[in-house]
Amino acid sequence: MSVKRITAAGVVFCMCLQLLCACGEKQAEGTDKICAGVAYYNQSDTFLNQLIDSLKEYLHDYEKEGYETTMLIRDAAGSQRTQNDQVKELIDAGCNVLCVNLVDRSDPSEIIDLARDNDVPIIFFNREPVAEDMLQWDRLYYVGAAAEQSGIMQGELAVELIRSRPQTDRNRDGKIQYVVLEGEAGHQDAIIRTENVVNTLKSNEIEIEKLSYGIANWNRAQAENRMLQMISQHQSKIELVLANNDDMALGAIDAYEKLNYTESALPLFLGIDGTREGLEAVIEGKLAGTVYNDKEGQAEAMAKIAVAAVSGEGMEKIEFDKDRCIYLPYFKVTKEMAEDMLREKDQP
Ligand code: BGC
Ligand code: CA
């Protein structure tokens, strides 16, 4: 064996050893040793990184109640096949509960089979499996938020802003020319948010005209590119940018900054999430508003279900919205709230 191959084999062996040590032997049900395996679709996602940081904290808090907690995290880098392998690896490493953020929310069967064969419960989060898949096993849970509500709230924010700032209708034609930046095609939050924000504007009798839309997969850099294309097509006609999340709204703002638009020539930008960067942009007045996607609430619910599922205690006290699913409410963020929220987060 060449030196290179021996070294490579050594590295793989050490990685396996590390994994085994991380959670130790598979725990019997009813244990107070919680080893959570977290698998998520892509580590470049701002919202999910912040949600997982919060999950770490909530799970760790259970140590005060006498639990031992460990968390192993895997990034699927956008591949469902990679994620399936990672789930197997996490189960082999001794994880006794899984938190899975699917890459392809319509394709969870392999993961469900693996978990069921090893009797490891799964808490899906943020990317919702379809209802039939949730029925495949009674140790499957889902934690997320009600997408419809976020679209309605984004629409209400837009209505309030348009009514209070007549200058939004820059060409004074009585209509608001808008574009939409959409998340991944097929993601429950993308389709439903877009539908509901537009319907809310219409039902409030705001005359709107759609100029264009771009799919930017939740991503700031992709949104900047899509926005640059739309600006080159429509120049200063765009009066409102509705983004399915904050990162894409920020990408749109980046595009206008790159082109040196003056403030009075800028459209209104609206996001969803209230990520740290989103809240900062609301405080600076760059982002006209956002809707809070309660990642702390979601992380707290996930930690609670994880502990109950592993320890066998307390599941009956958890309030599910429908069978084994929890949807945390959204709320609208004003500038004053954004300031308070960041201050609170920065407190040690
Ligand atoms: C969030 C997005 C995020 C996506 C990932 C959505 O609920 O609003 O920011 O990129 O989930 O699945
Ligand atoms: Ca107009």
Residue 254 tokens read as: 């980046």
306 φψ region: left (φ > 0), alpha (ψ -120 to 50), beta (else)? alpha
Residue 4 has pLDDT above 50, yes or no: no
**Chain mean position to CA 162:** 28
Q: What's the pLDDT at 27?
A: 55
- Report which of 249, 300, 290, 332 is spatially closest to residue 51, judged by C-alpha positions: 300
**Pair of tokens at residue 205:** 């009798």
Question: In this structure, how many other beta carbons lie within 10 angstroms of the beta carbon of residue 275?
Answer: 23
Is residue 272 within 6 Å of ligand 1 at its C-beta?
yes
Give φ, ψ of 257 to 5 degrees.
-65, -40
Ligand 1 centre from 45 Cα, in Å? 8
Q: Is 11 exposed, middle or buried (0-12, 13-18, 19+ CB in 10 A)?
A: exposed
Q: Please choose, from the candidates 183, 202, 73, the residue with its C-alpha nearest in 3D space to the C-alpha of residue 127.
A: 183
pTM of the model: 0.92
Report CA(80)–ligand 2 centroid distance (Å): 43
Q: Which residues pair with 73 in a beta bridge?
A: 38
Q: Which atom number of ligand 1 is nearest to the Cα of residue 150? A: 8
Which of these, 241, 248, 156, lies nearest to 204 by C-alpha position?
156
Name the one residue in this structure whose structure tokens are 């005359």.
Answer: 207
Q: Residue 260, exposed/middle/buried by CB under 10 A (0-12, 13-18, 19+)?
A: exposed
**Coil, helix or strand at residue 241:** strand
C-beta neighbour count of 175 within 10 angstroms: 13
When pLDDT is averaged across residues 306-319 and rounded to a whole number, the result is 97
CA atoms within 13 A on the CB side of 56: 9
Mutate to test the pocket of ligand 1, among 126, 153, 188, 270 (most ligand atoms within 8 A of CB): 126
Residue 30, Ramachandran bin (φ over 0: left; ψ between -120 and 50: alpha; else beta): left
pLDDT recorded at residue 233: 98
45 lines ligand 1 (CB under 6 A): yes
Q: Which of 29-38, 42-51, 162-171, 177-186 has the lowest mean pLDDT?
A: 29-38
pLDDT at site 20: 44
- Ligand 1, residues 42, 43, 44, 47: which to mutate, most atoms within 8 A of Cβ? 47
pLDDT at position 23: 75
Average pLDDT, the chain: 93
Judged by DSSP in three states, 84 sits in helix
Residues, Cβ < 5 Å to ion ligand 2:
169, 171, 173, 175
State whether the beta carbon of 324 lies less than 6 angstroms from ligand 1: no
DSSP per-residue string spanning 194-213: HHHHHHHHHHTT--EEEEEE
Whole-number pLDDT of residue 28: 57
What ligand 1 atom has the least distance to the C-alpha of 47?
9
Contact 93, 25 (CB under 8 A): no
**pLDDT at 50 (0 to 100):** 98
Q: 110-127, pLDDT tens digit by residue?
A: 999 999 999 999 999 999
pLDDT at position 346: 83
pLDDT, tens digit (0-9, with 9 covering 90-100), for 136-183: 999 999 999 999 999 999 999 999 999 999 999 999 999 999 999 999
Tokens found for residue 99? 């938190």
CA of residue 299 to ligand 1 center, whole Å: 14
Which pLDDT tens digit goes with each residue over 9-20?
Answer: 444 333 434 444
210 and 190 Cβ atoms separated by less than 8 Å: no
Give per-residue pLDDT as tens, 190-235: 999 999 999 999 999 999 999 999 999 999 999 999 999 999 999 9
Burial (Cβ within 10 Å: 0-12, 13-18, ≥19) of residue 5: exposed
